[in-house]
Structure 1
Amino acid sequence: MKFIAPLLVVLPLATGLTGCTNPNTPAGEEGYVFEKPRIFGAGGYRGTLIGPSNYGVSLWRNEVINIDMRPNTYTENFKILAKDDLNISFNFHAVIAIKSGTVQQVVEQYGAENWYVRFVRETFRTYVRDEVQRYDSVALKENRSEIAQAVSVKLKDYLKTSPFQLNNVIVGNINYPDIVAIAVEKKLAAQQLLSEKETQKEIAQKDAEIRIEEAKGIAQAQKIINETLTPNYLQHEAINAQLKMADSPNHTTVYIPVGTNGIPLIKGAK
């Protein structure tokens, strides 16, 4: 019976030690340290850990909820009717981080790890739908930057009083129905053909301009020739030709002067 008293002391001590906790938080995260309610006492929030760190060994039932504070990408998939009533499939990405020092607010007011689903997701999806439905299906790709910018402005305004910070919004892949894809291909082919026709037209215009200039040159040359072919000039040319022929060693040509300017008729000897 003399060993009963020490045993009664050791048992509570061992029980207390096995109930010790040492909450810890890894790098990039912040921890919300809280005490689980006991039979007596209120429990509740005990402090914040900024990782990497630990809260220390405690006889109390302290635990931690760790929240990742780093920027993370949240992707939403959509299938939405565009302005022209065609279903367009695409995805949207929002890069969001949690402001440092706000982990208590995130846990107590925004659902802890579920903050995105509870507070951001549906609002984000609504903003995307509203912007996409302003455009025809074919115009979506051409205006993807404008759509992303408009969604970003709205979402930043929505989050400005919250612990969350929007870093970027990106439009992902846009997939058209087959009918739209075919129409887009036809449009691109038509544009290419039109471009080729315009090029051919420009070439034809340049060719026509060249021919016109050549015709102008010929006409000008003919005009000059006609103006210079005076009787005296023709007589001079004829005399020169006769002189050259007379100098030929095989010259057997007979000249018969006719006309008022003495330009001869030429008869070759047989």
Structure 2
Amino acid sequence: MSNRHDSRSPIALVLAGTLALVIGVGIIMGVIAGSKAFGRYQSMSDAKNEAQIALVHARNKVTVTEIEIRNQNQRIQVTKQKAQIRYEEAVGLRHAQDEVAKTLTPLYVQMEYARALEEIAKSGKNNSVVYIPTGEGGVPLVSGVAGQPQVSPRK
């Protein structure tokens, strides 16, 4: 009888083996299902992260574009202001030239010419003798362009 109690019945062994097999298969199926579920969760999480990253990149690009537009508008404004300054300088120069032209006489030009020659002589930097052609009445000629009167020696 002691052999009977020590030994297990073949049916109990088969049942235990079947139960172990079912539990093992269940565990394996659970691991497979769990890993698939984890994989799906990870994929969804990755997709959400990529969407958030894309949104951040899009917002950054919009911000950078807005900054570039502001910078371009500022450069345009500076260029317009510089153009306005040049225009105002030109208008002022034209008014000054108009005033000088109203009172400019050949005698005044001769006087300025004589002063300039005197300053050159006094400077000590350029003591060379310079021959400058002059027109009638001693007014200096700027150039000998065709059609201009030719300089003749004084008699």
TM-score, normalised via structure 1 length: 0.27
Give the structure with the higher percent helix: 2
Question: Whose RCO is larger (CA < 8 A, sep 6+)?
Answer: 1
Higher Cα radius of gyration: 2
TM-score, normalised via structure 2 length: 0.43
Give the structure with the higher percent strand: 1
